[in-house]
Amino acid sequence: MAYQSELNTSQRILMGPGPSDVHPRVLKAMATPLIGHLDPEFVEIMDDIKAMAQLTFQTKNHLTFVVSAPGSAGMETCLVNLLEPGDEALICIHGVFGGRMADIAERCGAKVTRVEAPWGEPIDPKQIKAALEQCQPKVLAIVHAETSTGVLQPLEEISRIAHDAGALFLVDAVTSYCGTELKVDEWGIDAIYSGTQKCLSAPPGLSPVSFSERAVEALEKRKTKVQSWFLDLSLVRSYWAGAKRAYHHTAPVSAMFALREAYRLVLEEGLEKRFARHRRNHELLKRELEALGFEFLVQAGYRLPMLNAVKLPEGVDDAIVRRRLLDEYNIEVGSGLGQFAGKIWRIGLMGESSTQNHVHVLVSALKDIF
């Protein structure tokens, strides 16, 4: 039977919407012998991770840590802690993940107002101003990098609008974190979450998050219990930020080892240099793909450099060509979601997968197939 054989997966070139390729140093760190999750040495590692999370989020927020679950749990952590039954939330939707935030907010018992833009386009701040004439939200939430469409959403003006309305500003940065400019404190972001498997290039399964003092104050003024025990910040924070670390759950020790090394690689490269690398490789991919007949879905100026949404050339069968890329060249690219299924590809140039070699290997394979 298959399970009786030693595990031996293919050596893929990961150019989909995540996970991205992982540096050998990260894999080596993941193979470090286990220690206990309350071991003093592991507590020091948690402190290292927290400090590097603050540096990469560009924040001094004390409540900055890593949720022991993937980015969707980071999303849920932010929403279930900040919203109570009867609260109002304004959720901006321009793809799959804005819709997911709205769903979670409604499960919290919040009254949700949706501000929507066509898929492939950013949210216009004027839409938000108009919506605020009809509601008084406790939380205004938006996706910075919409993975389903390749849109990079400008945030600074919307942050000002949120604060002027007395709302907490919540941002999904799962795909943008460590791949493009993101300034939590300077941009007035009150709650933010990300994932480890994209531009951070660590194994999937963890979610860095950060909360401002305004967000912490809102948490402390809650009148009801957080609906999720596991994600309740009043409990988790004592494990990550307390003077005496109180047991909350058994942390994924090996994944934390890997994350620590991934953060070290990010900071060794430097954030600005890393952002510039993602932009350069995006421009290279753009030139090469357009020469093959691909068109970008998103208007210039709003395109994600790390997640490229492209329309397929006439006559190209989505499923057949992607399968050939995987079977014959070991290259993974992502298909479209929702209304874009079968119509676009989502090509990731994230973290360790953002190199000139990745671009050239993909383009060479496509030329062979075409």
Residues 283, 324, 22: CA angle, nearest 5 degrees: 55
Q: Say if residues 274 and 178 touch (Cβ distance below 8 Å).
A: yes
pLDDT of residue 337: 92
Asked if 190 and 323 sit in the same domain, the reply is no
Q: Based on the domain organization, do 66 and 185 belong to the same domain?
A: yes
Tokens of 249: 């759950």
229: in domain: yes
Task: Among 266, 295, 313, give the residue marking a domain's end.
Answer: 266
Task: Please state whether beta strands 331-335 and 13-15 pair in parallel, antiparallel, or not at all (unpaired).
Answer: parallel
Establish if 1 belongs to a structural domain. Answer: no
Q: Are residues 200 and 142 in the same domain?
A: yes
- Dihedral sign, CA of 278, 284, 287, 292? negative
pLDDT of residue 1: 58
Residue that terminates a domain, selected from 266, 298, 331: 266
Tell me what pLDDT residue 239 has: 86
Judgement on whether residues 303 and 201 belong to the same structural domain of the protein: no
CATH number at residue 29: 3.40.640.10
- DSSP code for 36: -
Give the other-Cβ count within 10 Å of 311's Cβ. 17
Q: What is the reported pLDDT for 242?
A: 66
Determine how many CB atoms are found less than 10 A away from the CB of residue 302: 16
Tell me, yes or no, whether 352 lies in a domain. yes
Alpha-carbon gap, residue 251 to 66, rounded angstroms = 10
Residues 200 and 94 in one domain: yes
Domain end marker among 228, 245, 266? 266
Nearest Cα residue to 191 out of 55, 93, 74: 74
Q: CA 225, CA 173: separation in Å to the nearest integer?
A: 26
Please report which helix (H) or strand (E) contains residue 101, including its range.
helix 96-107
pLDDT digits (tens, 9 = 90+) for 219-274: 999 999 999 999 999 999 888 876 677 889 999 999 999 999 999 999 999 999 99
Q: What is the CATH number of the domain that holds 293?
A: 3.90.1150.10
Q: Identify the pLDDT of residue 246.
A: 80
Kindly compute the dihedral angle of the four CA atoms of residues 280, 347, 55, 237, in this order, to the nearest 10 degrees.
Answer: 170
> Is 277 among the domain residues?
yes
DSSP letter string, 139-172: EEEEESEETTTTEE---HHHHHHHHHTTPEEEEE
End-to-end CA distance of the chain: give it in Å, rounded: 38
Same domain, 286 and 253: no
Point out the residues of the chain with pLDDT beneath 50: none
pLDDT reported for residue 243: 67
- The per-residue pLDDT for 51 is 98
Strands 88-93 and 111-116: parallel
Domains in the chain, number? 2
**Same structural domain, 186 and 251:** yes
As a whole number of angstroms, the distance between CA 275 and CA 146 comes to 17
The token pair at 171 is 């941002």
Does residue 2 belong to any structural domain of this protein?
no
Q: Give the domain range for residue 72.
A: 24-266
Which of 38, 30, 42, 49 lies closest to 210 in space, CA to CA? 49
In-domain check, residue 3: no
Our separate counts of H helices and E strands in the chain read 12, 14
Structure confidence at residue 241 (pLDDT) = 75
Instruction: Please list, in sequence order, all residues whose beta carbon lies within 8 angstroms of the beta carbon of residue 255, skipping any fewer than 6 positions away.
Output: 30, 196, 202, 203, 205, 206
Helix (H, G, I), strand (E, B) or coil at 344: strand
The average confidence (pLDDT) of the chain is 96
Query: What are the residues facing 207 on neighbouring strands?
Result: 67
